[in-house]
Amino acid sequence: MDAREMKIKAAEAALQHVEDGMRLGIGTGSTAEEFVRLLAEKVSGGLRVQGVPTSERTARLCLELGVPLKSLDELPELDLTIDGADEVDGSLRLVKGGGGALLREKIVASASSRMIVIADESKVVETLGKFPLPIEVNPFGLATTRIAIDKLAAKLGLSGDLKLRKSDDGAFTTDGGHLILDAFFGRIPDAEALATQLNSIPGVVEHGLFINMASFAIIAGPAGARTMQAK
């Protein structure tokens, strides 16, 4: 089973939790896109859902495939969000934001009664941090914000480069018009402390640590999909 087949397996298992009439948060990324394709097949067969996308990219795919969409202002409370992750540990702490949609992903997940994470087994880690942590920042005062993050990292015993994310035509810009600093910490032993203190830096808009948000994860491997609960 290759990587895409595992993503499809996880998406298929998550789709079993979608019920007729649900208000559904729809994630961003390659695994979430497999879910959208499967969801669209169900919608064409009569399943009624209203989706809130977490990115413009997801919105375009949903519209292309016929998945009905609403804004979060129209549906401020959701039944379920299904989204991928760049890392997930045994306590269901996540690193997200590899696709650059972390702010909207976190807002949508927070508006949902439940969040199901879908991923292949390569995303399961003992300690978060191998995947660079995305930190969404305001363009104004970028140098000041970078210095503050560096000082915080040193205080918490973290080290590693902070790199401004690039795109083909310059700095990567999120759907909200912000920039992303990717923090190459390697290991984040105390994700809760880092998450709390990043939130106290004025130039930080949001970060990719999702803590106490996932209800459970569906992890796909060569043997199929399994449900992962927090330890």
What φ, ψ does residue 148 adopt, rounded to 5°?
-65, -40
Q: What is the set of active-site residues?
A: 105
Determine contact, residues 83/27, Cβ cutoff 8 Å. yes
Write out the H or E segment, with its range, that includes residue 136.
strand 133-137
Residues sharing a CB contact under 8 Å with residue 213, sequence separation 6 or more, in sequence order: 94, 106, 109, 110, 115
| CA atoms of 132 and 154, how far apart (whole Å) | 16
Q: How many helices (H) and strands (E) does the chain have?
A: 6, 15
Helices assigned H by DSSP within the chain: 3-15, 30-44, 56-65, 102-110, 142-155, 191-198
Beta bridge partners of 182: 134, 163
Q: In whole angstroms, how far apart are CA 178 and each of 43, 123, 136, 175, 224?
A: 34, 26, 6, 8, 38
Beta bridge partners of 69: 51
